[in-house]
Chains A and B, each alone.
Chain A
Amino acid sequence: MANSDHIVLLDFSGSPFVMRVRLALAAKGIEYQIKEEDLTQSKSSLLLKVNPVHKKIPVLIHNGKPVCESLIIVEYIDEVWKDRCPLLPADPYQRAKAKFWADFIDKMVHPSSYKVWAANGEVQEAGKKEFIDRIKMLEGELKSNPYFGGETLGFLDIAFLPLYYWFHTLETFGKFSIEAECPKLVAWGKRCMEEEFVCASLPHPHKVYDLVVEYKKKMGI
């Protein structure tokens, strides 16, 4: 798989789900074209064509074939470009653990984070507590490793790192400190940010905050 590949990523700046795909592509050194969707406007005909079921980003279009859902896309990238930088471990049990926790992030952590940045009052307060409780469980999975993937960044690091980039946004809206509650997780995030491919592919956390403020304003949230 080399120069003949044509890869397009349907993107929306600031989306933590798109960020996962950007990280996976960058980790593997894959070149691609970005097509920015504006989710505050009506969805493009291309998006509706390539993801008719959910009508959501990210969508990766590889040589004309669409792949949807961020974790499925990351796993797809890992399988197609298996010659370099494996994201999932080789051992089936370790793979299952990584997928379990990535699924946990989607089902349990993201919904809580939404309450922190998009809600207020009691719902936001409950969201903050829920969010911290849940990321503390994830923090436990780091154990004594520098990354969730062990000695190098892997699938679960990529699944969670975008949310680390959202910490500043969540802390600002929620008026709380995530570092005070989860210092190990914040140390992990800072360590990841030192990787060149990470910084090169993601907007800075302060930029994420600006994007979210703009999004909230346009969507009336």
Chain B
Amino acid sequence: MGEVKVLGASLSFFCCRVEWALKLKGVAYEYLEEDLKNKSPMLLQSNPVHKKIPVLVHDGRPIAESLVILEYIDEAWKGYPLLPEDPSERAKMRFWARFTDEKCVLSAWAACCAKGHEREKAIESAQESLSFLEKQIEGKKFFGGETMGLLDLMVGSLPNWIEFLEEHGGMKLLDEEKFPSLYEWAQKFINIPIISERIPTKEGLINYFQGGQNSRHTTGK
């Protein structure tokens, strides 16, 4: 099915989604680590619009934006469907996938950065977003049901990022008491082998923000 490359950054929680999807589909790929302070000609050529990772390059044709890439992977390679068949369920999964990036990710970051009076409000807003995800996972093994789906991959790197933001910002967001189902899903998910072998860790993020940087160049399966 052609040559597959992933342009990524090991600490990006957008990039690992792409690698997880390829691994679930059993697609061999070459991973190329980008130095985001010195972007490669290949990245600038593959994603001239945003100049961002991840980019999937399949047979020389680039695709950018992690959610677009995940849907492409689901359509290009059969086996292990990431989206359900029913259009209404597909629409719901897409809705929550966008919600994850537009609300959860941004509000968690905002809560970490907020100071003084704004801090409490920002934490409340971030937790409100998490409460929506809590309702979606309640009573389910995965967001996708019995097996991992697109939404699991979209949310998957959030727990470690939140853990890092909690430590960095001195606050609690993913509270086990307030979000028991989400918390339980997170603990199980990040320990699944194909997930854990490629996930930004809290330690890696701490190290990065303290001035060091993790990098890798690897060939994935």
Chain A residues within CB distance 8 Å of chain B: 53, 62, 65, 67-69, 72-73, 75-76, 79-80, 92-93, 95-97, 99-100, 103-104, 137
Tell me, rounded to whole Å, the shortest Cβ–Cβ distance linking B94 to chain A: 5
Chain A contacts of B63 at CB under 8 A?
93, 96-97, 100
Q: In B76-112, which residues have CB < 8 Å from any A CB?
A: 76, 87-88, 90-91, 94-95, 98-99
Contact: B68 with A79, CB < 8 Å? no
Quick one: given A75-B94, A95-B72, A99-B71, are A65 and B65 in contact (CB under 8 Å)?
no
Contact: B95 with A72, CB < 8 Å? yes
Contact: B98 with A100, CB < 8 Å? no
Quick one: given A68-B95, A72-B98, A99-B71, are A93 and B61 in contact (CB under 8 Å)?
yes
Chain B contacts of A62 at CB under 8 A?
88
Tell me, rounded to whole Å, the shortest Cβ–Cβ distance linking B128 to chain A: 10
Chain A contacts of B98 at CB under 8 A?
69, 72
Chain B contacts of A53 at CB under 8 A?
95, 99, 132
Chain A contacts of B68 at CB under 8 A?
96, 99-100, 103
**In the assembly, what is the distance between CA of A53 and CA of B132, in Å?**
8
**In the assembly, what is the distance between CA of A79 and CA of B90, in Å?**
10
Tell me, rounded to whole Å, the shortest Cβ–Cβ distance linking A109 to chain B: 12
Contact: B72 with A96, CB < 8 Å? yes
Chain B contacts of A100 at CB under 8 A?
49, 63-65, 68
Sample 29 A-B pairs with CB under 8 A, ordered by A number: A53-B95, A67-B91, A68-B95, A69-B94, A69-B98, A72-B94, A72-B95, A73-B91, A75-B90, A75-B91, A75-B94, A76-B87, A76-B90, A76-B91, A79-B87, A79-B90, A92-B72, A93-B63, A93-B72, A95-B71, A95-B72, A96-B71, A96-B72, A99-B65, A99-B71, A100-B49, A100-B64, A100-B65, A100-B68
Give the 9 A-B CB pairs with smallest separation, nearest first: A92-B75, A79-B87, A96-B72, A76-B91, A92-B76, A96-B63, A67-B91, A99-B68, A72-B94
Q: Which residue of B lies closest to A91 (CB)?
A: B75
Chain A contacts of B69 at CB under 8 A?
96
Chain B contacts of A92 at CB under 8 A?
72, 75-76
Chain B contacts of A99 at CB under 8 A?
65, 68, 71
Determine whether B119 belongs to the interface, using a CB cutoff of 8 Å to chain A. no
**In the assembly, what is the distance between CA of A62 and CA of B88, in Å?**
9
Chain A contacts of B64 at CB under 8 A?
100
Q: In B132-159, which residues have CB < 8 Å from any A CB?
A: 132
Q: Which residue of B lies closest to A95 (CB)?
A: B75
Chain A contacts of B71 at CB under 8 A?
95-96, 99
Q: Give which listed residue, A80, A95, A97, A103, contacts B87 with CB less than 8 A.
A: A80
Tell me, rounded to whole Å, the shortest Cβ–Cβ distance linking B98 to chain A: 7
Q: Which residue, of A53, A93, A100, A104, has the highest number of chain B Cβ atoms within 10 A?
A: A100
Q: In B142-188, which residues have CB < 8 Å from any A CB?
A: none
Tell me, rounded to whole Å, the shortest Cβ–Cβ distance linking A148 to chain B: 15
**In the assembly, what is the distance between CA of A73 and CA of B95, in Å?**
10
Chain A contacts of B87 at CB under 8 A?
76, 79-80
Tell me, rounded to whole Å, the shortest Cβ–Cβ distance linking B149 to chain A: 16
Q: Which residue of B lies closest to A102 (CB)?
A: B68
Chain B contacts of A69 at CB under 8 A?
94-95, 98
Chain B contacts of A73 at CB under 8 A?
91
Determine whether B58 belongs to the interface, using a CB cutoff of 8 Å to chain A. yes
Chain B contacts of A96 at CB under 8 A?
63, 68-69, 71-72
Tell me, rounded to whole Å, the shortest Cβ–Cβ distance linking B101 to chain A: 10
Tell me, rounded to whole Å, the shortest Cβ–Cβ distance linking A8 to chain B: 15
